[in-house]
Amino acid sequence: MEIRLWHELLLPYELAVKEMVIKFKHLKKEHREKELYSPIEQVSGRVKSINSILEKMQRKNISWEELEEKVEDIAGIRIICQFSEDIEKVADIIRKRQDMRVLEIKDYITHMKESGYRSYHMIIAYHVETLEGPREIKAEIQIRTLAMNFWATIEHSLQYKYKGNMPPHVRTRLNNAAQSVLTLDEEMSSVRNEVMDAQNSMVH
């Protein structure tokens, strides 16, 4: 496909990503202004690169006609939380919003992937207004803790280095590291609970 047409195709996705990032960052600000704890720590977004889209179409045998239906992560939002408990709170906020319609949930928190990957994914429908009129596009929201993000970021860059041929012993070590990340998340939640209990007993 011609590069000009690619950019045209990606335009509404760029708008969607920008809008959603602003909205989630604003939610963090709202919590801060109201002196409430924010389950959202960091927000980022990206539009999938043309090369990654082509690679995915090839890998999953997706035709041009099916592109926007089947490549659900052309628009991608990542929400990072401090604690595992925050993930459900963010998911709840998203479920209740009127401007995002949840199409599909991929819960890799309760069902960790074989690789050791953990994250809560929501595929949503999002409305944008373009020159040609209203459009409904798909977006993938990934919600994970700082620790899960640490693991996923490094595992992803190693996968890239090995180009899909990661030696089994490296796989095993990454799996073990994923277990450590789970333990770390649990320990951080436990520390937080202890601190909150101590605060509550001082108030009462």
Active site residues: 140
- In the region spanning residues 157 to 196, those forming contacts with ligand GTP, defined by CB under 6 A, are none
Residue 152 as a binder of ligand GTP (CB under 6 A): the answer is yes
Q: Which pair of tokens denotes residue 72?
A: 């659900």
- In the region spanning residues 90 to 119, those forming contacts with ligand GTP, defined by CB under 6 A, are 106, 113, 115, 117
Residue 28 as a binder of ligand GTP (CB under 6 A): the answer is no
Binder among 26, 29, 95, 156 for ligand GTP (CB under 6 A) = 156
Task: Closer to ligand GTP by CB, 64 or 160: give it.
Answer: 160
Q: Are 56 and 115 in contact (CB under 8 A)?
A: no
**How far, in Å, CA of 130 to CA of 109, rounded?**
36
Contacts 24+ apart (CB under 8 A), 151-155: 151/116, 151/117, 151/118, 151/177, 151/178, 151/181, 152/117, 152/118, 152/119, 155/115, 155/116, 155/117
For ligand GTP (CB under 6 A), the number of binding residues is 10
Task: Closer to ligand GTP by CB, 73 or 185: give it.
Answer: 73
C-beta of 8: minimal distance to ligand GTP in Å? 23
Residue 155 as a binder of ligand GTP (CB under 6 A): the answer is yes
Q: Are 127 and 134 in contact (CB under 8 A)?
A: yes
Binder among 31, 56, 127, 135 for ligand GTP (CB under 6 A) = 56
Q: Are 6 and 53 in contact (CB under 8 A)?
A: no
Query: What residues contact 144, with CB distance under 8 A and at least 6 apart?
Result: 78, 79, 80, 81, 87, 118, 119, 120, 152
Residue 73 as a binder of ligand GTP (CB under 6 A): the answer is yes
Residue 74 as a binder of ligand GTP (CB under 6 A): the answer is no
Residues that bind ligand GTP (CB under 6 A): 56, 73, 106, 113, 115, 117, 121, 152, 155-156
